């Protein structure tokens, strides 16, 4: 939860919007990732279409553009990397991997947003 709150604060700062709205969007995003990974899928556009048609999920009938999380280009890089590693089938099989991945994902997105904002400067390796 702390990473989710940090991310909402950072996103509100970046986009100049309401942190409550940012919190809701980030929570929806991480829940979509969880729903997809529990099924052994990565949350690409095709999976989001399938999930938006599921009446048991609170996103039923929503536009895919609203559901894409995190923003590009980070989303593309994450999905591509996780696909290469085959992480989705491990998440389906082992729930502990999914929980750890969710925490790592939130931390990574938070750090990425901070770097985009210029709040954190990482030293260059030589």
pLDDT in tens, 34-89: 999 999 999 998 988 888 887 777 776 677 777 788 888 999 999 999 999 999 99
Left if phi > 0, otherwise alpha if psi is -120 to 50, otherwise beta: which for 72?
Answer: beta
Cα R_g (the chain), whole angstroms: 15
Quick check: pTM over 0.75? Answer: yes
Rounded-to-integer distance, Cα 18 and Cα 11, Å: 9
Helices 45-52, 19-38: axis angle to 10 degrees equals 100
Q: Tell me the pLDDT of the chain averaged across its residues.
A: 83
């Amino acid at each position: 939860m702390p990473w989710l709150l940090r991310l909402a604060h950072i996103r509100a700062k970046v986009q100049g919007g309401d942190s409550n709205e940012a919190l809701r969007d980030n929570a929806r995003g991480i829940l979509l990732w969880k729903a997809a990974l529990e099924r052994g899928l990565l949350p690409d556009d095709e999976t989001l279409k399938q999930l938006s048609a599921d009446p048991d999920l609170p996103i039923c009938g929503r536009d895919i553009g609203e559901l894409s999380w995190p923003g590009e280009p980070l989303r593309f890089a994450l999905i591509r990397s996780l696909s290469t590693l085959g992480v989705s089938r491990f998440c389906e099989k082992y729930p502990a991997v999914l929980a750890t991945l969710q925490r790592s994902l939130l931390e990574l997105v938070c750090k990425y947003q901070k770097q985009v904002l210029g709040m954190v400067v990482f030293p260059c390796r030589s």
